[in-house]
Amino acid sequence: MTTHLPPNQSLDTDSSAQESPMPNNVLNNDEPNNQEMIDENTDALDNDDLLEEDSDIDDEIDDSDIDDGDDEVPVAGQAIPVVVDMTHIVTEDQSGLRIDKVASQVFSDFSRVQVQGWITDGSLLYNGSVQRPKVRVKADDVLHLSTTLQQHSEDQPEDIDIDVVYEDDDVLVINKPVGMVVHPGAGNQTGTLVNALLYHYPQQHHLPRAGLVHRIDKDTSGLLLIGKTKPAQMALMEQLKDKSVYRHYQCVVAGDAASLLRHRRIDAPIGRHRTQRTKMTVMTAGREAVTHLLNVTPLNENYCLLDVGLETGRTHQIRVHLSHITYPLVGDRVYGGRRQLRSGLSEAQRQAISNFPRQALHAYTLGFVHPTTGEDVEVTTPLPEDMQQLIAVLSNGYDDEYDK
């Protein structure tokens, strides 16, 4: 990927460190059991997951967000019903199974609770008639689902442009711009990525958080993974949990290359700050958090571009870890402070750092195992213009010094 840097400045780690710490493991062929994933989740976010009214968080979506009874249809202004009309002919392999079992397999975009309710109320017919869920089916029998999903959600679709960098029938990857909150919360009921998704992909209405698998800060740019069906969303969340999803970020930090290379693996638990509740901090009682510095590229004697890999997904993890080792991100007002300004800066460089309006952090690579095909998928997106300009200013003239 081109980042418009001075030549010959990349300081790679050794070959073993270059290997991704989060390998793509092939998914097994078993369908995920939604309730088991919820029950077994030991890595849940706490309830007040939005730390600031105008900020989103960099973290995994909590499995407990997946509600078996979720049939919400967010529509702006009025309750516009969504009609579902689907037919399935029972196969030989399904012969002998209960109606509710087959229906849950076939109409997998919906929860088992929904399907069982539709069998009971007659929305899901067996050979044209209402039957009890435990009735056994035969090959060539017909299941027909006809229902209308009712609106209950406050999340409303909005005509907001989104940058789609990968899409198929099961998965969507979005390049989120700086300034966009990922999902509605306190102080951010509109203008979020979820609002945009519900407009451009109205079929996402029945998925928790419109199919989001993880999230990033409002002021972090880059790639977000979204499931387009409930099985895909659940499978991708499980991959995130077992670390077969890998996420690489690029960031500009205040620190020299030699010092940063001594911290290629940062293993420090993170928890909510005891007194400043809008901040996270490294603490003994925190949750496991591991960050890998995969590549260090000096921009000048005291600033570097880092390629960072996440092994875990804690709130503000990269920002907290780099601040903890005293090399904060440029532009990070929460965790950086005055330590962002190092010696030897020109006036133009000092101004560029002082005026940079957000943390210089971009999620540029996302890798996962496709939930349907089992193939490895990797998506990348270039650095945004503001970070490219910052890099250009900080590296101005350094290529000449570096080559001496």
Helices 112-121 and 99-106, axial angle in degrees (round to 10): 130
Q: Transcribe 75-91 into DSSP letters.
A: -SSS---EEEEEEEEPP
The catalytic position among 58, 62, 217, 332 is: 217
- Alpha-carbon distance of 17 to 264, in angstroms, equals 8
Q: Which region holds residue 160: left if phi is over 0, alpha if psi is between -120 and 50, else beta?
A: beta
Instruction: State the Cα–Cα distance between residues 255 and 394, nearest whole angstrom.
Output: 12
User: Is 217 assigned a catalytic role?
Assistant: yes
Q: What element of type H or E holds 37?
A: helix 34-40
Helices (H) and strands (E) in the chain, counts: 11, 17
Distance CA 185, CA 188 (A): 5
Q: What angle do CA 376, 294, 316 make, to 5 degrees?
A: 90
Give the DSSP per-residue string, 99-126: HHHHHHHHTTTS-HHHHHHHHHHTSEEE
Q: Could you give phi then psi for residue 167, rounded to 5 degrees?
A: -155, 140
Q: Diameter of the chain by CA atoms?
A: 84
Give residue 119's Cα distance to chain centre: 35
Provide the token pair at 272.
């909510």
Catalytic residue list: 217
